[in-house]
Chain A
Amino acid sequence: MRGLLDIYRAQLKTSLAIEMQYRASLAIWLLGTILEPVIYLTVWATVAQSSGGEVGGYTASGFAAYFIVLMIVNHLTFSWIMWEYEYYIRQGLLSPLLLRPAHPIHKDLADNLAYKTLTLVILIPVTLMLIVLFRPTLDTSPWAVVAFVPALVLAFAVRWVFEWTLAMSAFWTTRISAVNQVYFAALLFFSGRIAPLDLMPPAIQTIAYFLPFRWMIYFPAELILGQVSPRDALIGFGAQIGWFLVGLALLRVVWRAGIRRYSGVGA
């Protein structure tokens, strides 16, 4: 355990140093991040206005709160690992990683955490700016704010194991962008990115309830917005833990099968 902690410390340091070299890409990322909530909250605020001020209980400032919170949750839970493994595998870069004494997932996790730490410097002012621009109203309770923290950590964990498993599809195919696009399409509709899930048609809501995507992004967001009863929150935590275990099992199976296929081309 101590060994693993040391590995994380070293990896975090190198990752931070590397990320600092790419400040321009950080700025680009910033633009995309602000734009998405602004686009959706504008569209939905327009819908609310034309339906007499509110849609399904959301006012314009309600939508603002929803999409700003969603931006934060999405940012803190996302990963880009599914875009990298094809390159790692094709170029044989995975081989040196396999020789290290720790599973490659630890390096990836440390990279992700370093990036998140660094981008917090941008995320906080952006959030404040959006709050000033769109005046969201947040009607939450103290217990929901406290429960938000474990919900967010679990959401990250669920998303991480599934996205890392997804990245492993690079062992079998080079059409990674098509595979990823399917994943992101599902994420878009079933995790509340397009609209709060309670505004989706009932069929989509039912499907979303039984898929993992909702628990990766939507659940922490609706929790802190004060829309979840304590009982539903407990069910949510259960679902998150359940999906995390499912994802973890899947990850182990896929990783073992994939690594057996891998022949280290190019290294």
Chain B
Amino acid sequence: MTPLRLLWLNLRIGILTELEYRANFGVQLFQTFLALVIAVGRLSVIFYHTDELGGWGPDQMLALTGVFFLVLGMVNLIIQPSMQRVLEDVRRGTLDFVLTKPEDAQLLVSVRQIEIWKVVDVLVGLGLIVVALYRLRESIGVVEALGFALALLAGLAIVYSFLLMLTTCSFWFVRVENLLVIFQSMYEAGRWPVGLYPGWLQFALTSLVPIAFAVTVPAEAVTARMTPQTLILALALAVVLLLISRAFWRFGVRHYSGASA
């Protein structure tokens, strides 16, 4: 079974389960719409008073908002729910059922739980990015678009590795949920370019939690302000974190003793 088929299988199960609660789709649509109104309204208020925010124009901020929706959507669609499930399994000792399966355990736990309606956020994010790119079309070429795609992939990989490492901590500590919530509250800061913040906060958003790499860096690509160095740094960091988080996960699994099963 290839990783992609496994992902597809879980996706299908997720869709089939959620199709029984179709009204949830309407609710999600409504909530995303409201979040969009808030985000665009907030930007309008800012740009009612100025033409640029720390070097970011309205369309560039729109692109950043799109990236924010997209990344948050991906996290809520699959990463966060899957990790939440690992936490629960570790606490109840039911992770055994995953570990005994003849597939790579990390892969299995990473795509296990899907909240399919969150895909609305992902689509809205993509839509915002398309609109922003269209309005900025003069300054964006193929190179920038490619850089954007790469930076976005790197950002998602970094967020995934980060969350996997936090989750792995649950093999030793019980209340890791709190750490995940901390990440969520820090995420709010990603709505604005990280470069605006005071130094200590920039440091926290770059080194402690990887929000700068998840949102600001990809958005920099579409606004043609990204240096090749930044992109290389993001890609290198993504690879390193993927490797570290995998090693850490395997180390953690060895410490897992299956408390109650």
Contact = CB atoms under 8 A, between A and B. Distances in A.
Interface in B170-207: 175, 178, 181-182, 185-186, 188-189, 191-192, 196-198, 201
A191 B234 CA distance: 39
Given A47-B46, A194-B42, A178 B185 contact: no
Interface in A125-182: 133, 175, 177-178, 181-182
Nearest to B192: A43
Interface of B: 27, 30-31, 34-35, 37-38, 41-42, 44-46, 48-54, 175, 178, 181-182, 185-186, 188-189, 191-192, 196-198, 201
A32 interface: yes
Nearest to B177: A24
Contacts of A39: 188-189, 191-192, 197
Contact of B185 (A32, A55, A194): A32
Interface string A183-217: 00100110000110001110000000000000000
B186 A189 contact: no
Contacts of A96: none
Given A24-B175, A28-B178, A178 B31 contact: yes
Chain A interface residue count: which class?
20 to 34
B176 to A, nearest CB: 11
Interface string A90-134: 000000000000000000000000000000000000000000010
Contact of B53 (A35, A50, A56, A177): A50
Contact of A175 (B27, B34, B189): B27
B49 A199 contact: yes
B45 A201 contact: yes
Contacts of B27: 175, 177-178
Interface string A35-59: 1101100110011001100011000
B50 A50 contact: yes
B45 A195 contact: yes
Contacts of B49: 47, 51, 55-56, 199
B189 A199 contact: no
Contacts, number: 81
A229 interface: no
A31 B54 contact: no
A189 B182 CA distance: 25
Contacts of A21: none
Contact of A31 (B42, B45, B51, B185): B185
5 contacts: A47-B46, A182-B34, A189-B38, A195-B45, A201-B44
Contact of B196 (A28, A42, A189, A201): A42
A234 B46 CA distance: 31
Given A24-B175, A185-B38, A200-B45, A35 B50 contact: no
Given A36-B188, A46-B196, A189-B41, 13 more contacts: A24-B175, A27-B178, A35-B188, A38-B201, A39-B191, A42-B196, A42-B198, A50-B50, A50-B51, A50-B53, A56-B49, A194-B41, A200-B45
A85 to B, nearest CB: 18
Contacts of B48: 199, 201
A2 to B, nearest CB: 41
Interface in A16-36: 24-25, 27-28, 31-32, 35-36
A-B interface, 7 closest residue pairs, ranked by CB to CB distance from nearest: A32-B185, A47-B50, A46-B54, A24-B178, A55-B49, A178-B27, A28-B181
Contact of B34 (A28, A31, A185, A201): A185
A32 B184 CA distance: 9
B45 A199 contact: yes
A51 B45 CA distance: 15
B121 to A, nearest CB: 13
Contacts of A36: 188
A111 B37 CA distance: 34
